[in-house]
Amino acid sequence: MKTSQRFWNAIQPIYQSILDHPFNVELAEGTLDLKKFQFYLKQDALYLVDFSKALALAGTKTTNESDLDLFLKFAEGALIAERSLHEYYFEQFQIEHETEESPACFTYTRFLIATASQGSLSEAMGALLPCFWIYREVGSHIHKHSKSNNPFQKWINTYSGEEFHQVVEDAINVTDRIAETVGPHQVDVMEQAFIKSTRLEWMFWDSAYRMETWKP
């Protein structure tokens, strides 16, 4: 069994909770409150900036030139491709950019940046992989169950599309290559980071559904 498959098996109960979350159920049905979707988009735009930074930081830890190039492409792609998706909806819904991260967004991005800057390359990749992989699987799942004339179809098409699929395969493959260079203990550390980021993925969608704000 590949290391990545071991990680994926470990998060199945959390992943099922993500699929069953009303945000994603209602997004597939096309009934999600537009205000909740807009909240999500604004937070996701903030998230992607820090996600790109974490990818770039992780890339500085590799001594493999081809992997460094791949990390930089990941970072650039997160900003360019997904920002294009945001801009489409920002214009359609006349959304103003958010200036403050929600508690869930803040927690997730700080975890990624801290892990990428202070942890090992293997731990960083364990933390970064869920954002790639889970979005592909959620996008594909929603694509199969989406209602016709779904107002969120462009979002669904982006994450279920072939271009994103290949990016995710590249991220999975580099994770497996990195895992082969470290010992069993470090693989365990990678797995814990993978699980934590998966939980934070759930929190991100839950935060958007509740339109979470800071208290007090």
Looking at residue 81, what is its pLDDT?
67
Task: Name the residue type at position 133.
Answer: W
Supply 123's token pair.
Answer: 């731990």
Half-sphere exposure of 33 (CA within 13 A, CB side): 9
Would you identify the CATH topology of the domain 33-210?
Heme Oxygenase; Chain A (1.20.910)
Residue 32 has phi, psi (to 5 degrees) of -60, 135
Query: So what's the pLDDT on residue 204?
Result: 98
Q: Where are the domains of the chain?
A: 33-210
Which pLDDT score, from 0 to 100, does residue 80 have? 73
Query: Cα separation of 116 and 63, whole Å?
Result: 15
**For position 200, what pLDDT does the model report?**
98
Which residue stretches of the chain have pLDDT < 50? none
Instruction: Write the CA distances from 100 to 34, 126, 128, integer angstroms.
Output: 20, 27, 22
